[in-house]
Structure 1
Amino acid sequence: MLNVDEIQKIIPHRPPFLLVDRIDKLEPGIRGVGRKCVTMDEPYFVGHFPGKAVMPGVIILEALAQTGAIVMLSLEQYKGKILYFGGMDKVKFRRQVVPGDVLTLDVEIIKHKGNFGVGSAVAYVEDQVAVEAILTFAIGE
């Protein structure tokens, strides 16, 4: 398990844009399972939506991407690098995420060649799928 201090040693994101609170399972270069505890204090809830707080889908995708970044940047050859979004495919939003929910962020690397790769990403709330997507990435300096 990685706590937030250990996560910040791997990826460059910082609050309020660090969207992974902890990593429960980590197989470097293969798979990671993280958590994001969604609170009403998140800055995007001010405008999304007044009177009906819903976590923006793109923020959930970013949390999944950060989890994937932790998976890849945990490999020795990528330490100190940055993982960039290359694209998203087959994105499906299946459930709203609201304050009080705990997102489980599960990313499995399904293809990796050189500095490029693809991950299968699923965000859950309890046992319900909230978002699923195929994410492509590039590793840079």
Structure 2
Amino acid sequence: MDREVILNVLPHRYPFLFVDDIFEVEYQKRVVGIKNVSFNEPWILGHFPDEPVFPGVLLIEAMAQICGFIFYDEQKGEKFISYLSKINNAKFIEKVVPGDTVVVEGYLENLFGNFAKVKAVARVNKKKVAEAEITYFFQRNN
């Protein structure tokens, strides 16, 4: 997806933008995107200086930002601003380190009112590193 589209859809900016690319979007069904974990990110100085590990909370944020694209309809130009409402069943299976490319897949599980639940899975080199159920509050932003 064009970088300008990503910046148009998400309100996040450096140093809190954790989406490097979106490869697939099926509106209100499925999304696939990536976060490249770099050696020059601000967290690296303190988590942990001798053995940098991408913080789990930032991994959840990357997953939530990427999965938020489920609410973007590219053909209609329709998009929704989604706000993180709840995290369930988060599991961190393997550590993520600088140099890793995290591929996040999200699948819409349920829509209820202005809320939606998405199942998110993060992988590095096709190996699952994390998963979570992410609930969003969303509103139209046209």
Structure 1 and Structure 2 fold alike (TM over 0.5): yes
Contact 1:39 1:100 in 2 (8 A): yes
Alignment of 1:35-114 (within 5 A): 35-74=34-73, 79=79, 81-114=80-113
Partner secondary structure for residue 100 of structure 1: coil
Q: Distance in 2 between matches of 1:71 and 1:61?
A: 16
SS in 1 for 2:86: strand
1:30 corresponds in structure 2 to: 29
Q: Secondary structure at the match of 1:106?
A: strand
Alignment-derived partner of residue 139 in structure 1: 138
Cα distance in 2 for partners of 1:35, 1:68 equals 10
SS at match of 1:23: strand
CA drift of 1:74 comes to 3.3
1:78 CA drift (Å): 5.7
Q: Tell me: CA distance 1:23–1:109, structure 2 relative to 1, closer, same or farther (3 Å).
A: same
Percent of matched pairs sharing the same residue: 36
Q: Structure 2: how far apart are the matches of 1:88 and 1:77?
A: 28
What are the superposed Cα offsets for residues 17-62 of structure 1, whole Å, 9 maximum, x if unpaired?
1101000111111110001111101111111011110000010110
Gaps (5+ residues) in structure 2?
none
Q: Quick one: distance in 2 between partners of 1:82 and 1:130?
A: 27
**Residue type of the partner of 2:33?**
G
Shift of 1:3: 2.9
In structure 1, the gaps of 5 or more residues are none
Question: Which residue does 1:126 correspond to in 2?
Answer: 125
Aligned length: 139
Name the amino acid aligned to 2:133. Answer: I
**Do residues 19 (structure 1) and 18 (structure 2) align?**
yes
Q: Take 1:48 and 1:74, find their aligned partners in 2: how far apart are those partners?
A: 37
CA distance in 2, matches of 1:37, 1:22: 9
Q: TM-score, normalised by structure 2?
A: 0.91
Given the superposition, is the C-alpha separation of residues 63 and 74 from structure 1 closer, same or farther in structure 2, using an over 3 Å criterion?
farther
How many Å separate the matches in 1 of 2:83 and 2:50? Answer: 34
Across the aligned residues of Structure 1 and Structure 2, the Cα RMSD in angstroms comes to 1.7
